[in-house]
Amino acid sequence: MSEQRPSAAVWPCLNCENAQATIGFLVDAFGFDLTAVHNDDAGRVSHAELRWPEGGGIMLGDAGRPDSEYASMPTGAASVYVVTDDPDRVYARARSAGAQVLRELREEDYGSRGFSVRDREGNIFSFGTYRGG
């Protein structure tokens, strides 16, 4: 029997100018798995879920949906930390996809190895081995 990872209880939510393009970027650049996309009658992404293969995930949708509690939330204002056992692989993938590197891959004094990049919307994604204390 394989080891089961606990499901994440916190899922960051992103408000996007172009959710469909952001979904493509997050899948290609970082390796998220798209698990759900729901569009409204106008064709905007009203809800999408992307799971992180190592546990947890994020939710997102297009900005300006009048029925959304996120209607007034700015886009590109999120900072998301994602735990990974292989930051070197994710870093190489992110660089190949053209992610803007904000902090190069490095060892931290608190024992983590990781890096930070900006997505196409301006959100900051940090990936590292630190799992919290």
Say if residue 66's pLDDT is above 80: no
Q: In this predicted structure, what is the pLDDT of residue 29?
A: 97
The domains of the chain are located at 13-65+76-128
Report the candidate in 112, 47, 42 with the shortest Cα–Cα distance to residue 84: 112
Amino acid at 116: S
In the predicted model, what is the mean pLDDT of residues 120-130? 96
Spatial separation of the C-alpha atoms in residues 10 and 131, rounded to whole Å: 14
pLDDT in tens, 31-65: 999 999 999 998 999 999 999 999 999 999 999 88
Label residue 7 by pLDDT band (50, 70, 90): low
pLDDT in tens, 80-108: 999 999 999 999 999 999 999 999 999 99
The values of phi and psi at residue 26, to 5°, are: -65, -35
Say if residue 110's pLDDT is above 70: yes
Please state which CATH number belongs to domain 13-65+76-128: 3.10.180.10
